[in-house]
Chains A and B, each alone.
Chain A
Amino acid sequence: AQTVTQSQPEMSVQEAETVTLSCTYDTSESNYYLFWYKQPPSRQMILVIRQEAYKQQNATENRFSVNFQKAAKSFSLKISDSQLGDTAMYFCAFTDNAGNMLTFGGGTRLMVKP
């Protein structure tokens, strides 16, 4: 069974600064997909960024980028130029190639301070 671990329950960052959220996972699969989801206080879960394990290049989406270390089974999210609207719970998630289920980590609560 796959597991996803987020070791930082809470983090804070000043507006306009950069913050990195950590995620590690465990799997015996060789091909899989990793995701970062954002859940603002309004609770709608939104996909932030996605990484395919067979791609060596780290994914980027505007201010969001990942550092994917396959051998270390590490998948961190970097948020640059943090904005107040980035305040939310962030979940790291994993799915195998069959895509039947998402396995989520416990989440990191990010507070962006003005």
Chain B
Amino acid sequence: DAGVTQSPTHLIKTRGQHVTLRCSPISGHKSVSWYQQVLGQGPQFIFQYYEKEERGRGNFPDRFSARQFPNYSSELNVNALLLGDSALYLCASSLVAGEGSYEQYFGPGTRLTVT
């Protein structure tokens, strides 16, 4: 079975541009979460979506937005890119949301570089 997939693998953008990152969860998983991992640090929670609704939001500016589609895949959008947005963006899927016992499975990430 395929794990969590993310696209693209790498991305280089210029300050002020917009970027869209994509994630496909494990088949049967209905919840997707997004994390930002700056080099040398632990991942920071950005969003969680479950059944196409936002279930949680981390401490990120409104330039960050996301959505989940009927097939449970998800997009993370970042507007007006800043140099500080350069990071590895991780997507994680879980069977359901709202239950801490369910494991989150991570994808390989998208490496975003803002110049």
Counting CB contacts under 8 A, is A96 at the interface? Answer: yes
1/0 contact trace for A24-36 toward B, CB 8 Å? 0000000011000
Counting CB contacts under 8 A, is B32 at the interface? Answer: no
Within 73-114 of A, Cβ neighbours of B (below 8 Å) are at: 91, 93, 95-107
Question: Would B42 and A104 count as touching, CB distance under 8 A?
Answer: yes
Q: How large is the interface on A (under 10, 10 to 19, 20 to 34, 35 or more residues)?
A: 20 to 34
Question: Would A32 and B100 count as touching, CB distance under 8 A?
Answer: yes
Chain A contacts for B40, CB-based, 8 A: 107
How far is the CB of B45 from the nearest CB of chain A, in Å? 4
Point out the residue from B42, B55, B58, B94 that lies within 8 Å of A106, measured CB to CB. Answer: B42
Question: Would B106 and A99 count as touching, CB distance under 8 A?
Answer: no
Counting CB contacts under 8 A, is A11 at the interface? Answer: no
How far is the CB of A81 from the nearest CB of chain B, in Å? 25
